[in-house]
DNA sequence: CTGTTAGCGCTTTCAA
DNA sequence: TTGAAAGCGCTAACAG
């Protein structure tokens, strides 16, 4: 039950064989303070010879800082998460911080476990990109109370001392629906309504608002929701949901001429169902997705969708976090809502009359 | 530049207000050693009251163990990585370890940075799932030499003291190609040959071996490689590569009747190119992918592909790592090669004559 | 330019 | 059942 079979080399080991004190070695290794060129070289030689590596635990304990931030991801299989993680890492790396990612995919209990393992290791701050849930949120408030810098991304959460970055899903849903309406569509279906996630819910609400704003009839038969089992499913698995929901919509006596799917995976599933039925996209049915995953531009036909500014969310979140980490004084709250952008490709067209 | 604005509560803070020593609090908090029910309750009350959290740095420093393992991921956007991370986490969680994930997507330099940040924090061991490269591999050997437990997954690497887990990509490529040959195909293309990754190269070699084993002509025009720019591109972006390569193949005077794509994303790109050309899958062209990403079963038609036992790779890797972590004695080397499995769906069919 | 001192917060070990 | 002492490996602060 040991980290390694051989005991590790410490500063004072190096100091001893170099004939100096550990303080001098520390100065050489961390490149701060004055050390004569002569001793520096001698120390460096011993460091290499003994293959010395500093112990970050001791260092962090002393410095009360680890130069490390944590990211808790709710759905690692989602391209959104990958892009988010990448963009966050770009900022943290540039600013000299390490990034440790934890997964929490199923429950508030896992959220708490991730938060705890991160705070346990004394990370300097945490970015949270999980689905909101009671247990996780409660623990978040506690952590913040304790003074841990926290930023939430793409997630419902409110605390006076935690910044948030989200995309305007409501307006995104509105834009997508309005686009279909502008093309002359009146029977517009929505696939994948869900109550479990505020962000997903808002896409649906945007759809409803657009219908209302245009005085279109709201037909509940055209709105398919998730089964409970699917409500917290990972992104890609909603593809099956899209496929099945589309099958049902196509079987309707008065089928929709356009579909707005809650995310691109769902849209891709729907596309497959439509193709299978022999109908053509976009001439027979138009379809819009949400997220603009990398694959969206490569589907056939290329998917019209709503793009979230994912990279911007990530970099902003990281900047907000580091601002908190590096500030001694209380920091003003940031609650940034970024605009979504409609990306029109080939899956939507004017309604045939 | 401080972790938090408020100084944190320590064991001895709790001890003081509870009227005991820190040792007693430690025993209560870690649930080991004997403490009377009375003191336990008193301590617990103070712990809650003061909102005490233990400091993992101090704990780890003293215990010479952090109960944490690291995972370095080469392509976080790849479903393979997500599945791998999940399965590893299942094992580590169950065995009482935390999992910290680091991303290294571009270079050996990033590999080294990830390894360093992890060892710096004294993780008990590291699972490596990046692309192999000189600089990264060199540093890996050094780490192993220093006594850090290491396991490599899906990656070329050899060291007497590091276990490896890989899928038999060579045989997988062979199976895919043989399947097409069994269906009567003779003009079989390969999309996405690459030299930069040993694992991808093996898929291609399996293809070549199957052709040879069946005395089929090896036609270089049917073998499309990566451009240099694409050679280390993330998985999903190879979709474009598949699309473009397929376009070129379809323009050939004597076009192939079957295609084996280096991965499912590439296959999906090829499928789109084929559909766009008006040809039907599988009646006009058969296509096989590799990886069995979640989307493979949802493409239209559903993709025949080679499944890697990803989950098994992850759990085995985690088990091998923890075995090393928890063993005081030298551990016997494990180099596990797992079989791939051909998953026949609807994208392949008997050659029309 | 280099060294000394002290202590970060915890747990191991031994003593009571 | 509880406590005291010591020290994990490092660096801030100060002294020389």
Output the six-digit token pair for A257.
Answer: 């001429």
Domains of chain B, with CATH numbers? 11-60 (1.10.260.40), 68-167+310-338 (3.40.50.2300), 169-308 (3.40.50.2300)
Average pLDDT over residues A47-74: 94
Is residue A196 pLDDT above 90, yes or no? no
- Residue-wise pLDDT tens digits, A223-267: 987 655 455 566 666 788 899 999 999 999 999 999 999 999 999
Low-confidence ranges of chain B (pLDDT < 50): 1-5, 228-229
Those residues whose beta carbons lie under 7 A from strand D are: A 7-8, 10-12, 22-23, 26, 29-30, 32, 54-55, 58-59, 61-63; B 20-21, 23-24, 27, 33-36, 38-40, 58, 61-62, 64
Average pLDDT over residues A153-163: 95
What pLDDT score was predicted for residue A231? Answer: 52
In chain A, residues with a C-beta closer than 8 Å to the C-beta of B322 are none
What pLDDT score was predicted for residue B237? Answer: 63
Which of the residue ranges A172-181, A278-287, B225-234 would you say has the lowest mean pLDDT? Answer: B225-234
Distance in angstroms, CA of B63 to C1' of D6? 14
- Kindly determine whether residue A57 and residue B269, on different chains, have CB atoms separated by under 8 Å: no
Average pLDDT over residues A44-55: 92
What pLDDT score was predicted for residue A50? Answer: 92
What pLDDT score was predicted for residue A124? Answer: 97
3-class DSSP string for chain A:
CCCCCCCCCCHHHHHHHHCCCHHHHHHHHHCCCCCCHHHHHHHHHHHHHHCCCCCHHHHHHHHCCCCEEEEEECCCCCHHHHHHHHHHHHHHHHCCCEEEEEECCCCHHHHHHHHHHHHHCCCCEEEEECCCCHHHHHHHHHHHHHCCCEEEECCCCCECCEEEEEECHHHHHHHHHHHHHHCCCCCEEEEEECCCCHHHHHHHHHHHHHHHHCCCCCCHHHEEECCHHHCCCCHHHHHHHHHHHHHHHHCCCCCCCEEEECCHHHHHHHHHHHHHHCCCCCCCCEEEEEECCHHHHHCCCCCEEEECCHHHHHHHHHHHHHHHHHCCCCCCCCEEEECCEEECCCCCCCCCC
Q: Is there contact between A58 and strand C, defined as CB under 7 Å from any strand atom?
A: yes
Is residue A99 pLDDT above 60, yes or no? yes
Whether the bond into A254 is cis, omega within 30 of 0: no
Is residue A181 pLDDT above 90, yes or no? yes
pTM summary value: 0.93
Q: Is there contact between A266 and strand C, defined as CB under 7 Å from any strand atom?
A: no
**Average pLDDT across chain A, whole number:** 91
- Residue-wise pLDDT tens digits, A103-122: 998 889 999 999 999 999 99
In chain A, residues with a C-beta closer than 8 Å to the C-beta of B81 are 76
What pLDDT score was predicted for residue A194? Answer: 72
Average pLDDT over residues A202-213: 95
What pLDDT score was predicted for residue B8? Answer: 84
Output the six-digit token pair for B256.
Answer: 């192939």
Across the interface, of A56, A103, A237, the residue whose CB is closest to B85 is A103
Average pLDDT over residues A123-131: 96
Q: Is there contact between B55 and strand C, defined as CB under 7 Å from any strand atom?
A: yes
Q: Which nucleotide is nearest to A26 (CA to C1')?
A: D11
What pLDDT score was predicted for residue A125? Answer: 97
- Residue-wise pLDDT tens digits, A287-298: 999 999 888 887
Average pLDDT over residues A172-184: 97
Q: How far apart are CA A250 and CA A257, in angstroms?
A: 10
């Amino acid at each position: 039950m040991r980290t390694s079979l051989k005991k590790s080399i410490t500063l004072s080991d190096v100091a001893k064989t170099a004939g100096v004190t550990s303080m001098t070695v520390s100065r050489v290794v961390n490149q701060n303070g004055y050390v004569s060129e002569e001793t520096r070289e001698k120390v460096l030689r011993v460091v290499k010879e003994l293959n010395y590596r500093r112990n970050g635990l001791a260092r962090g304990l002393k410095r009360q800082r680890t130069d490390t931030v944590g990211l808790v991801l709710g759905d690692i299989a989602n391209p959104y998460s990958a892009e988010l993680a990448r963009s966050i890492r770009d900022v943290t790396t540039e600013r000299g911080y390490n990034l440790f990612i934890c997964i929490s995919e199923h429950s508030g209990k896992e959220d708490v476990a991730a938060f705890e393992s991160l705070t346990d290791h004394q990370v300097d701050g945490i970015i949270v990109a999980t689905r909101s849930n009671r247990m996780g949120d409660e623990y978040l408030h506690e952590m913040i109370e304790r003074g841990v810098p926290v930023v939430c991304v793409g997630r419902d959460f409110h605390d006076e001392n935690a910044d948030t970055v989200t995309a305007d899903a409501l307006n995104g849903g509105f834009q997508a629906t309005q686009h279909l309406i502008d093309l002359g569509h009146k029977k517009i279906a929505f696939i994948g309504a869900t109550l479990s996630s505020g962000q997903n819910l808002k896409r649906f609400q945007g759809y409803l608002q657009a219908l209302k704003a245009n005085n279109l009839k709201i037909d509940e038969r055209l709105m398919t929701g998730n089964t409970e089992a699917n409500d917290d499913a990972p992104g890609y698995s909603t593809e099956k949901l899209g496929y099945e929901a589309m099958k049902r919509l196509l079987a309707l006596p008065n089928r929709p001429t356009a579909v707005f799917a809650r995310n691109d995976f769902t849209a891709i599933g729907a596309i497959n169902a439509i193709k299978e039925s022999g109908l053509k996209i976009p001439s027979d049915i138009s379809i819009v997705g949400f997220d603009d995953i990398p694959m969206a531009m490569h589907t056939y036909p290329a998917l019209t969708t709503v793009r979230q500014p994912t990279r911007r969310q990530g970099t902003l979140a990281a900047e907000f976090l580091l601002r908190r980490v590096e500030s001694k004084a209380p920091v003003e709250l940031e609650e940034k809502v970024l605009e979504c952008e409609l990306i029109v490709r080939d899956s939507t067209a004017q309604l045939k009359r």
